[in-house]
Amino acid sequence: MKEIIELSEKKITIERNQYLKVSGSIDRNLYYIESGSVRIFVIDEDEEQIIRFGYKDNLIVALDSFLTGRPSELFIQAIKKTTIKIVTKHEFDKFIETDPHHKLWASILENLVIQQFEREIDILTNSPKDRYERVLKRSPQLFQEIPNKYIANYLRMSAETLSRLKKS
């Protein structure tokens, strides 16, 4: 990942609750989180539905927009003050084309697709306990980096249910 991060010459800091991306915008950037945390969500019937988190040492992307160049419905918002390095699609594509070994970076995007697939399985799993256990096993750091109210939304359960599951 270090090679990709070194492509970036641009670093930004966004304050708590500030948006990195809003729905309806085109976003052709990969983001590497140096510090802080963000949430990625959509709005469904006036309700926020969190679909992913990013925190220290994570790469995040509005993958649909990054790959297609079309607007995405995703919002990316800082949960707390966050420092981010930005790698543009142009920089990424140029990097991939310069060396056959760099094709491995295409696997990073594939990994993001797999993570999204795992997320869909989480949503389709009926039991709140099963959803909690799957995410805890896959991403234990999430529970140290992200406030419970956001995790509960992500898991599609009340904060009280999450609290009960964490205690059991």
Q: How far is CA 49 from CA 53, 74, 130, in A?
A: 12, 10, 19
70 occurs within a structural domain: yes
Q: Please, which residues bridge with residue 25 across strands?
A: 72
Report the percent of the chain where pLDDT is more than 70: 95
**pLDDT digits over 152-165, tens only?**
998 989 999 999 99
Give the CA angle between residues 68, 73, 88 to the nearest 5°. 45
- Asked whether residue 122 is domain-assigned, the answer is no
Reduce the DSSP state of residue 55 to 3 states and report it.
Answer: strand
How many CB atoms lie under 10 A from the CB of residue 125?
Answer: 16
Mean pLDDT for the chain overall: 87
Rounded Cα distance, 163 and 75, in Å: 26
User: Is there a contact between 87 and 30 (Cβ–Cβ < 8 Å)?
Assistant: yes
Query: By residue range, what is the domain housing residue 37?
Result: 2-103
Give me the CATH number covering residue 66.
2.60.120.10
Domain count, the chain: 1
In a domain, 138, yes or no: no
pLDDT tens-digit map of 104-150? 777 777 777 777 767 776 676 568 888 898 889 988 999 999 999 99
Q: What local confidence, expressed as pLDDT, does residue 29 receive?
A: 95
60-72: pLDDT as tens digits: 999 888 888 899 8
